[in-house]
Chains A and B, each alone.
Chain A
């Protein structure tokens, strides 16, 4: 019925008017939970507040702040929920994520997962990146497949990520010891030397 009556623009307007009468009772019902809470905040409304630190649409301008655009949705939900519940140590993210419901966290994760990944664009120390690749192939490739381009609910994309962020993340995990050990691959992070962390950071940033 709709397909046939909504072909022209004028017909659509007429059709819309009659449809509105039909839809009204349905909409009143579906708005009730909205009115009880202070309202549903859109994914864009929620996610734009992240851009001040993580860049417009989650593509970070550097260097300690990670790009979050194009990451696996399940991974983002897990990380943000872990921040909220204080299961993942942080300087500031725990304080922020406690301000959002689980539904809002899912909306934020969807918003960024749907945005395009943007790799960094700057020259990298080739020698350090080469050393990083050796470490990566030996100890990291099994989860962070395809040179860190692969990702899933447990492993974030690393290729093209800001090196300084990767360095701080690895150093922080190593410094936390026990509280980080529960995470996949953490026992391998614990034994990394400073120079190895630096090399890995250069390697991942060099992979686009």
Chain B
């Protein structure tokens, strides 16, 4: 806002002493206090939902905010690849919800299975009912095993972990790497677009190679990819070579990397052209929005949730908002930082709607770090705005770490990655 306009509005606000132009200037406190407290229910306490709940309370402390999360603690997916290399313990990825409770948010331990948009309520697994005026879902992703013959949820839990939701499967994959003989092959099956954390499979390859290079240096990491290109590709490939020589090999779809089936007995991946054997198989399946969104009519033919990209309100059901990986959010990638940014835009839009104000003009950012070696970090940043109803990148902004950055810069980007993690999780949970 330019100074002359700010001065104008400021004097107008004072002169109106309670404000005539409510829509333009914001509801005065006296009016807001008279409004019955609206109920906002947030389902899913991760990178999107925890932020939406907290920033709703910050935007309007009078709101009744309930956060419903099925797990008593949250385990962060970002930085969980470091558990595979042994650089990090699960404890440092684990958070509880006491900080949000202290902010006056009612945190309920329940798994929501049903949404009734007519009656404006959600139902928990045990039958508990939660009424809402506005519902925000940050449900995350689910996996589509149907494109890979022989694959199943059970096999993911027992034998071929995706470890794409941090938790028991992360530790299973770590144990499998520890049990693998020197000279063995660890296969990463990378999913087609779009999927959670676009640089994730390639950072994972580096973290696994970091462990193997110290303990099993004759081993290989093979990436079989459903795509022919990936996020930060040039930076990844240069770093793999620099730190791990020929240990990591990437097979794009065009070279037969697309996996069509899996044989658990012979530990074989069936590709379009040839078959591949491995000792450890980390199969990251194709993805879509979480079951809660799929089962309640909130996804379109793509398997993801269409939303008004200014507010994140579903275009299929009014008063239901969807943020994070499950949402179709224009140019934004499915990342923790995107979910954080969307949670804030959504919270401000919901608070405005409840207070009878127009939806605010949104601003969004994404920042993703990848740690490829203890002294080698890289990043991608994006700055976004709304244009014609679509989230688009601001021209000239954002982009990758420099390809020719010096060692000092690479090392500092690791420290920034860790600082990113400390701050984004503090933003969520304190």
Contacting A52 at CB < 8 Å: which of B337, B384, B409? B337
Measured CB to CB, the nearest residue on chain B to A26 is: B12
The interface residues of chain A lying within 8 Å CB-to-CB of B419 are 53, 60, 62-65, 165
Contact B423 A61 (CB under 8 A): yes
* Bound Cα distance from A22 to B9, whole angstroms: 15
Chain B stretch 360-393: residues in CB contact (< 8 A) with chain A:
360-365, 367, 379, 381, 383-387
Q: How far is the CB of A178 from chain B (nearest CB, A)?
A: 15
Beta-carbon contacts of A3-28 to B below 8 Å, as 1s and 0s? 10010010010011101101100110
Q: Closest 10 A-B residue pairs measured CB to CB?
A: A99-B383, A99-B397, A39-B361, A61-B426, A19-B20, A65-B419, A64-B419, A49-B365, A64-B415, A99-B394
Chain A stretch 30-51: residues in CB contact (< 8 A) with chain B:
30-31, 33, 38-42, 44-46, 48-51
- Given A16-B18, A20-B20, A99-B398, are A56 and B383 neighbors across the interface (CB < 8 Å)? no
Beta-carbon contacts of B388-429 to A below 8 Å, as 1s and 0s? 000000101111010001101100110110111011111100
Indicate whether B29 reaches chain A with its CB closer than 8 angstroms. no
Contacting A42 at CB < 8 Å: which of B21, B360, B385, B416? B360
Indicate whether B128 reaches chain A with its CB closer than 8 angstroms. no
The interface residues of chain B lying within 8 Å CB-to-CB of A185 are none
Contact A23 B2 (CB under 8 A): no
The interface residues of chain B lying within 8 Å CB-to-CB of A52 are 337, 340-341, 365, 367, 420, 423-424, 427
The range of chain B's interface size is 35 or more
Chain B interface residues toward A at CB < 8 A: 1-2, 5, 8-9, 12, 15-22, 24, 30, 54-55, 337, 340-341, 344-345, 348, 360-365, 367, 379, 381, 383-387, 394, 396-399, 401, 405-406, 408-409, 412-413, 415-416, 418-420, 422-427, 430
Contact A92 B381 (CB under 8 A): yes
The interface residues of chain B lying within 8 Å CB-to-CB of A48 are 55, 341, 344, 348
Indicate whether A96 reaches chain B with its CB closer than 8 angstroms. yes
Contact B423 A40 (CB under 8 A): no
* Bound Cα distance from A154 to B345, whole angstroms: 33
Measured CB to CB, the nearest residue on chain B to A60 is: B423
* Bound Cα distance from A107 to B365, whole angstroms: 16
